[in-house]
Chains A and B, each alone.
Chain A
Amino acid sequence: MAFLQLKSLIKSFGPVRVVQEFNLDVARGEFVSLLGPSGCGKTTVLRMVAGFESPTSGQIIIDGADVTGLRPSQRNVGLVFQSYALFPNLTVAGNIAFGLKVARKPSDEIATRVKDMLKLIGLPDLGERYPFELSGGQQQRVALARALAVRPRVLLLDEPLSALDAKIRVSLRDQIRDIQRELGITTIFVTHDQEEALSISDRVVVMNKGRADQIGTPHEIYNKPKTEFVANFVGTLNAFTAVVTHAAKGTIKVNDTAITVPHLREMQLTNGAQVKLGLRPEALHVGKQPAPATNLPATVEDVHFLGSVIRLRVRLGDEVMSIDTFNRSTEKPPVIGGKTTISLNPTDLILIQ
């Protein structure tokens, strides 16, 4: 049975439903991210787990026990905020010790735990500093240590990296993941950054307007998006419509080009129906490829140099698509306005419901 269960959570503020029928099972030690655009209800879900909002209906179960009615101070859930929220009147060590002191642990135990936590976050010598004497990244690590010191059953992080600059964001997210693995703590991580979510999570929940649109591993979410929203929100997607010409064979027609897509056969489509298809930029290739690939003539409209990758915008009839190709120092990049052939593998086409 899952360690943390959210069952049919609904939350309304007045007449507005901001979380609707939210179901999620998190296994012990699992790292799950809530990913979604601003205002989709991520923080509200997290605050319900922490106990700062009570659900309009639904249940929250931790380790088999229903905690829905418990106050935040009774839940033993660790929280890390975007704004760090360290206690300014206490030193780093005092901050980390706060929860242990509240729990009236013996002082030698507190001292040992504080030392261990400082080592864990890689700041063994900063215990006597005050929060204002630390950088943002250091403050957030102390906040993490403070939350973890009381050995919470669940760790909740609400956009903990959003206030930091890009370099530190990447190194700290790896550090958070390492610490989470080392302690084996069940974790929910809220972010609106898809790269962040995909890179460190066991599973990702993509949220849209208060619902969980899709729950899956990063690989599933990216390669088999279930809804158009997920497909668009996670990564870049070329979307286009096609007409089914031979449902039994899985043949469709795009701009007068017939393509046979094997995995469309099982979809029970009807002849003449319109379907929406998607294709990731990296699934398109510049240049001809042998069958079963499909080759299409195209015109280059725009070239963006992104470093290791060159992103092209090409026109095929009415559609404009993005293509990612690796940058090779020996090859000249395509020129704007040039004619070229692009190819795609039908198995890479994503059917969007």
Chain B
Amino acid sequence: MKQGTFWSWVVFIAGAIYFFLPLIATFEFSMRARRGVYSFDAYRSVLADPQFRDTLSYSVVLALLTIVLGLAIVTPTAFWVRLKLPRLRPYIEFITLLPLVIPPIVIVFGYIRLYNTASYLPLTGSLRGTDFLLMCGYATLSLPYMYRAVDTGLRSIDLVTMTEAAQSLGASWTTIILRLVLPNVLVAILSGAFLTFAIVIGEYVLAALLNRPAFGPYMVWMGGNRAYEPAALAVIAFAITWACMGLIQLLTRFQKHTSKKR
């Protein structure tokens, strides 16, 4: 018992060093823009850069749209598969895992081939069309996380029996989805949403190849052209991602009825 505690601390500390040391080093470096003293000059310069604000807000808007699209595809699918087509689950799960195996570059080249200006659906011909393609690409990339999150949420409740109990009490499908299913999987849906957000904010390949002004390409461009600012940018990006993770934790804590005895 004592021994177990000791070793888990060792592993924890080793892990913490592995994760935090580079972060601390980056942070320390980002503070050295002014010779001799620590300062926030690099941060000031980043935040003052109009390109930073433009690319970040572009990515945030796109992330939110991606979340809506992803949820609209994933939630009904997962619900219906669990309720009526449980035999299809392994296949659906396999499909949702494909984006982890197929590199984004393949997806984006496929898009460009299929939807170029010479095609029947020339989406790349307009900026909005390209944005739409980019959003679809992001939704695809986030599919494994989104589907898993929602499906796990649905698994933690006895969906079939609960639905039948509600139906026998006179409830309609809308009532069942709004009053029972959504409240019970809300935390799962939100954690899927935040993961998607984090992915979209840092994504590079899709945005760069579709040539859209997203945050990912901006970070890469900064890295090639400045000294201290990229470090500051990295810390800011980390902070955004971590804030998302923190929110997931917070929300999980808020929903007290999910703390089931098992």
Q: Is the CB of A81 within 8 A of B165?
A: yes
Q: Is the CB of A88 within 8 A of B259?
A: no
| Residues of the A chain whose Cβ atoms lie less than 8 Å from the Cβ of B165 | 79, 81, 85, 87, 143, 146
Q: Is the CB of A102 within 8 A of B180?
A: no
| Residues of the B chain whose Cβ atoms lie less than 8 Å from the Cβ of A88 | 157, 184, 257-258, 260
Q: Is the CB of B167 within 8 A of A72?
A: yes
Q: Is the CB of B170 within 8 A of A102?
A: yes
B155 to chain A, nearest CB (A): 13
Tally chain A residues at the interface, Cβ within 8 Å.
Answer: 29
Q: Mark A97-119, 1 if CB is under 8 A from B, else 0.
A: 01100110000000000000000
The contact of B257 among A72, A76, A89, by CB within 8 Å, is: A89
* A326: Cβ under 8 A from any B Cβ: no
Of all chain B residues, the one with the shortest Cβ separation from A78 is: B168
The distance in angstroms between the C-alpha atoms of A88 and B255, with both chains bound, is 11
Q: Is the CB of B157 within 8 A of A83?
A: no
* B161: Cβ under 8 A from any A Cβ: yes
| Residues of the B chain whose Cβ atoms lie less than 8 Å from the Cβ of A130 | 256-257
Q: Chain B binding site: helix, strand, loop or mixed by DSSP? A: helix
Q: Is the CB of A99 within 8 A of B170?
A: yes
Q: Is the CB of A83 within 8 A of B257?
A: no
| Residues of the B chain whose Cβ atoms lie less than 8 Å from the Cβ of A77 | 168
> In chain B between 182 and 219, which residues have their CB closer than 8 angstroms to a CB of chain A?
183-184
* A75: Cβ under 8 A from any B Cβ: yes
Q: Mark A13-51, 1 if CB is under 8 A from B, else 0.
A: 000000000000000000000000000000000000011
B51 to chain A, nearest CB (A): 45
| Residues of the A chain whose Cβ atoms lie less than 8 Å from the Cβ of B170 | 73-74, 76, 99, 102-103, 150
Q: Is the CB of A146 within 8 A of B169?
A: yes
Q: Is the CB of A132 within 8 A of B259?
A: yes
The distance in angstroms between the C-alpha atoms of A71 and B184, with both chains bound, is 25
Q: Is the CB of A73 within 8 A of B171?
A: yes
Q: Is the CB of B161 within 8 A of A83?
A: yes
The distance in angstroms between the C-alpha atoms of A75 and B171, with both chains bound, is 11
* B172: Cβ under 8 A from any A Cβ: yes
* B95: Cβ under 8 A from any A Cβ: no
The contact of A85 among B161, B172, B256, by CB within 8 Å, is: B161
Q: Is the CB of A73 within 8 A of B168?
A: yes
* B98: Cβ under 8 A from any A Cβ: no
The contact of A83 among B158, B166, B172, B256, by CB within 8 Å, is: B158
| Residues of the A chain whose Cβ atoms lie less than 8 Å from the Cβ of B258 | 88
What would 28 A/B residue contacts be, using CB atoms closer than 8 Å? A50-B164, A51-B168, A73-B172, A75-B168, A76-B170, A78-B168, A79-B164, A79-B168, A81-B164, A85-B158, A87-B184, A88-B258, A89-B184, A89-B257, A99-B171, A102-B170, A103-B170, A130-B256, A131-B257, A132-B259, A132-B260, A132-B261, A143-B165, A146-B165, A146-B169, A147-B169, A150-B169, A150-B170
Chain B residues in the interface with A (C-beta under 8 A): 157-158, 161-162, 164-172, 175, 179-180, 183-184, 256-261
Given contact pairs A51-B167, A76-B170, enumerate 16 new A-B contacts (beta carbons under 8 Å): A50-B164, A50-B168, A71-B167, A72-B164, A73-B171, A77-B168, A81-B164, A85-B162, A87-B184, A89-B180, A98-B166, A102-B170, A130-B256, A131-B257, A147-B168, A147-B169
